[in-house]
Amino acid sequence: MPEVKSTPVRTSVVVDTPVDRAFTVFTDDIASWWPPDHHILQAELASMEFEPRVGGSIIDRGVDGTECRWARVLAYEPPHRVVFSWDISLAWQVESDPGRTSEVEVTFKPVDGGRTRVELEHRHIDRHGDGWEGMHSAVGSPDGWGVGMQRFAERIASGT
């Protein structure tokens, strides 16, 4: 197959809060804004933890007590920058091979009026390998990604 390189996903938002608080909410209070369907636990998501150090993890915990460490914190520079890996495989499992994971960099920059520009780049997506393509195709409709992904995860989990 011809090699396909991915371009990074980039998105940004200006929020009406100072840099310090934007950084804190993004990391320490991640559970307050993270789309709740977006996890790979079999149980419902009960809580999330963003460990505030390089080498830490982002951890999802289910209502049944199970946990999932789906990201490694690669850079932690409060209140300006954080980088974490995206360790999720085709089969909705944690990807243990770092060579097959992508990464997300988030920066926090002050702008006029005490506001903050949050810039996010999700890069090296092609490292996930060809397998990710079908997973995405399965859930990639513009309207259906949230519900679709949850259904897909449940289906994979049911093993049928």
Interacting residues toward other proteins by CB under 8 A: 1-2, 4-7, 9, 11-13, 15-17, 21-22, 25-26, 29, 32-35, 38, 90-91, 118, 120, 122, 125-126, 128-142, 144-146, 148, 151-152, 155-156, 159-160
Instruction: Report which residue type is found at 156.
Output: I
**In the bound complex, what is the minimum distance in angstroms from residue 160's beta carbon to other proteins?**
7
7 vs 96, beta carbon nearer other proteins:
7
Spatial distance between the Cα atoms of 27 and 48, rounded to a whole number of angstroms: 10
Q: How far is CA 120 from the centre of its chain?
A: 11
Residue 77 is encoded by which pair of tokens?
A: 């520079």
74 vs 125, beta carbon nearer other proteins:
125
81 vs 151, beta carbon nearer other proteins:
151
5 vs 53, beta carbon nearer other proteins:
5
**In the bound complex, what is the minimum distance in angstroms from residue 57's beta carbon to other proteins?**
18
Integer Rg of the chain from CA: 16
**In the bound complex, what is the minimum distance in angstroms from residue 97's beta carbon to other proteins?**
13
**In the bound complex, what is the minimum distance in angstroms from residue 136's beta carbon to other proteins?**
4
**In the bound complex, what is the minimum distance in angstroms from residue 19's beta carbon to other proteins?**
11
Q: How far is CA 92 from the centre of its chain?
A: 13
72 vs 128, beta carbon nearer other proteins:
128
